[in-house]
């Protein structure tokens, strides 16, 4: 197993026979490059991964009006149209922090959670909330991830129209800086194992180990303690929708899109079955076959 951070380098490694299987971050260009390779099979599907913009509940974003104003400037449709639609033509912005579209409760969550307030960019609404202020926002992201770079650039340009000064805080060490005071907002992704109900306690509860943005909401904390000891799936969905609604009400941040996935492998391999969770294609490696 090798770690190759650059998607183009992964494609080259597969083409040259240096590796037999790659799982690159997929873009339209990457997919076209893979389709042009001989003797290569491609598996596609949605990942249990979503890109999101999180705001830190301190500094410039301690003020809810500033948080709401910034979120009103986020060009989610533009980001999806540019980055995701070349791979998934019917892709739309993700409108829940806690559900993905394939889940039955997703539509109910979207109806209830208030995400429609950010369906479209609203520069005038943002200006009204800012009341003449021109806040500076340090936005962190992974400089080695083309999708995150493109998201940053789109957000920076759009937010400037409302008066925000979005400072480039991109870094290749971004993950080590999560939870620090070196940024005000961050773009990154969460990926799920696909089982269990640990998301709210881990990420959104004030006591969660992955609560990097100092968020605290008593209702969400209560739900985070109740869900792990609840067996009724309908009740779990109801509690999760309630938490989702609180996140939008507090202007926590915004989900951007569910990430598409691709596995590409040499045709001498067989038994590869697409898996969109954090394990990826190696989930069934004992079923693989190799022909010479």
Residue 54 is given by DSSP the state E
pTM above 0.85, yes or no: yes
Please choose, from the candidates 181, 195, 188, the residue with its C-alpha nearest in 3D space to the C-alpha of residue 152.
Answer: 188
pLDDT at 197: 82
Distance from C-alpha of 159 to C-alpha of 58, rounded to nearest angstrom: 19
pLDDT at 45: 93
Let me know how long the chain is. 292
pLDDT at 19: 97
Checking if the pLDDT of 123 tops 90, the result is yes
Q: Which fold has domain 7-46+260-290?
A: D-Maltodextrin-Binding Protein; domain 2 (3.40.190)
Please choose, from the candidates 192, 171, 191, 193, the residue with its C-alpha nearest in 3D space to the C-alpha of residue 182.
Answer: 171
Distance from C-alpha of 272 to C-alpha of 249, rounded to nearest angstrom: 42
pLDDT tens track for 169-199: 999 999 999 999 999 999 999 988 877 788 9
Give just the sign of the alpha carbon dihedral 138, 142, 144, 150. Answer: negative
Cβ–Cβ < 8 Å for 75, 156: no
**pLDDT average, residue stretch 98-115:** 95
For the chain, give every domain's residue range. 7-46+260-290, 49-193+251-259
Q: Which fold has domain 49-193+251-259?
A: Dipeptide-binding Protein; domain 3 (3.10.105)
Please choose, from the candidates 240, 138, 136, 151, the residue with its C-alpha nearest in 3D space to the C-alpha of residue 188.
Answer: 151
In Å, what is the CA distance from 232 to each residue of 125, 187, 246?
Answer: 41, 34, 21
Helix-helix angle 233-249:218-226, to 10 degrees? 160
Q: Locate 283 and state its tokens.
A: 């989930």
Cβ–Cβ < 8 Å for 268, 225: no
């Amino acid at each position: 197993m090798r770690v190759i951070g650059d998607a183009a380098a992964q494609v080259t490694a597969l083409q040259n026979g240096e590796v037999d299987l790659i799982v690159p971050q997929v873009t339209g260009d990457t997919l076209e490059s893979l389709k042009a390779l001989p003797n290569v099979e491609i598996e596609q599907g949605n990942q249990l991964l979503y890109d999101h913009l999180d705001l830190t509940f301190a500094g410039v974003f301690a003020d809810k009006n500033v948080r709401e104003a910034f979120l009103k400037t986020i060009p989610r449709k533009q980001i999806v149209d540019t980055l995701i639609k070349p791979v998934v033509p019917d892709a739309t912005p993700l409108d829940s922090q806690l559900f993905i579209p394939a889940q039955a409760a997703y539509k109910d969550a979207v109806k209830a959670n208030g995400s429609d307030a950010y369906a479209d960019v609203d520069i005038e609404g943002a200006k009204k909330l800012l009341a003449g202020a021109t806040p500076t926002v340090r936005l962190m992201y992974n400089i080695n991830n083309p999708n995150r770079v493109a998201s940053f650039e789109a957000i920076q340009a759009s937010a400037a129209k409302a008066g925000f000064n979005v400072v480039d805080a991109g870094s290749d060490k971004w993950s080590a800086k999560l939870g620090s005071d070196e940024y005000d907002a961050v773009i990154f992704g969460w990926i799920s194992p696909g089982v269990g109900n640990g998301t709210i306690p881990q990420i959104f509860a004030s006591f969660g180990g992955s609560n990097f943005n100092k968020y605290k909401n008593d209702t969400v904390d209560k739900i985070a303690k109740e869900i792990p000891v609840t067996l009724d799936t309908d009740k779990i969905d109801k509690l999760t929708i309630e938490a989702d609604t609180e996140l939008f009400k507090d202007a926590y941040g915004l989900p951007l899109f569910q990430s598409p996935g691709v596995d590409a492998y040499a045709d001498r391999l067989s038994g590869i079955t697409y898996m969109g969770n954090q394990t990826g294609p190696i989930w069934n490696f004992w079923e693989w076959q190799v022909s010479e």
